[in-house]
Structure 1
Amino acid sequence: MSLKETLKQAKQIERQLEQQSLGAVKPRNYLALNPLLRKGGIHEKEDIDIVRKQRRRETKQNLRQTDWLSE
């Protein structure tokens, strides 16, 4: 293999690595993580699923607080 061909292959490999790295690394959108932009509070729907979810959460918290070993 000549030096010219080796350099040509090296450039091709570098290009492939650059293309792979460009697709893999994305800048994070910190604005999307802002708590003011999330749903909740007054704007949340009063739906049956939400009520069930709240009851389930409360039940789980109550079960975690009970002392099972003393009973």
Structure 2
Amino acid sequence: MSLKDTLKQAKQIERHLEQQEKQSFSLGAVKPRNYLALNPLLKKGGIHDKEDIDSVRKKNRRENKQQLRKTDWLAE
């Protein structure tokens, strides 16, 4: 086989594979999952993460109550 024939055969194989891919997508095939998008480094977090206002208020209230319980009211 010459180089020209080999290249021609490679192009035919590529065309055949492209046609098969087009047919498989038209039949409703599922796209492969992008696992890079599930990487935890690419998700929101830190400052940009929204906090629940009610939970923040509840936490502050609990901390204040604990501080008041620790104080010695009779010593003052």
Q: Normalising by the residue count of structure 2, what TM-score does the alignment of the two structures yield? A: 0.34
Which structure: larger Rg? 2
Q: Normalising by the residue count of structure 1, what TM-score does the alignment of the two structures yield? A: 0.36
